[in-house]
A = this chain, B = another copy of it.
């Protein structure tokens, strides 16, 4: 397993150490990138440093290349990412795992090469927590390493009981952090996925901003081309008196009225401890019946 820092500087070194120790205790062979703790302004080293780290992760030959943390820093690297090396590594079996700012790399790599990466945990916030990491997250991560993870299931909210069942086959699963993904609209780094299953999450974004970003994807034609939209965890915002009832529920209602795609909520993915791993760029099936939803992939690297 290769640990590197493509985005924000690691400030919580204790969490970093705990994360590495935890992964070792789980039996993993952990290699830490020499610049994993680099710092330049808010970044984990300047652009050249982070690009080199991404390059080393690509040539590490590791089973998993795991980001130390998200933050901000990949978007500005997009024109210079080592796409061929990353795609080759993904094909050879290195699973690139991360979330949040990492969405930029995942989307760009998918757009440019079609390679599959994994939306999943980060070292510090997930494995480096004080106390035990989330057991569902760890089980999913373990499944990935054993090559046994073939899907992720979750419970839909009660109001979905009466909804028509969803059945989507052989659709490309893609998505990630909404702000990062919407920030790629209009650029060559947003994958042009047709008939896909798009999953989204975000943190510290007020529902009106979530809606504005979804509107961008809607008006850009992106949402209209998807068969399903999976809404993950949207956390860290505070409702204000000005909202007068406007919240995530309003946003989901608004979304459902505007797209043909099935909109399923409560996907356990986002800036929360309990997160599944999801193959970005893999072909999946999605089924829901009553309150049960299940996304299944086949042979995703």
Contacts and interface: CB of A to CB of B under 8 A. Distances in A.
A244 B186 contact: no
A242 B9 contact: yes
Interface residues on A, range: 35 or more
Interface in A177-233: 179-180, 182-190, 208-209, 211-213, 215-216, 219-220, 222
Contact of A242 (B42, B183, B209, B245): B42
Interface stretch (A60-68, A73-81, A273-281, A287-295): A73-81
Interface string A62-103: 000000000010011011000000000000000000000000
Given A208-B72, A211-B76, A212-B75, A245 B41 contact: yes
A250 interface: yes
Given A72-B208, A208-B72, A212-B72, A41 B11 contact: no
A120 interface: no
A39 interface: yes
Contact of A216 (B183, B208, B211): B183
A244 B42 contact: yes
Contacts of A72: 208-209, 211-212
Contacts of A182: 183
Contacts of A159: none
A237 interface: no
Interface of A: 8-9, 11, 39, 41-43, 72, 75-76, 78-79, 179-180, 182-190, 208-209, 211-213, 215-216, 219-220, 222, 242-246, 250, 254
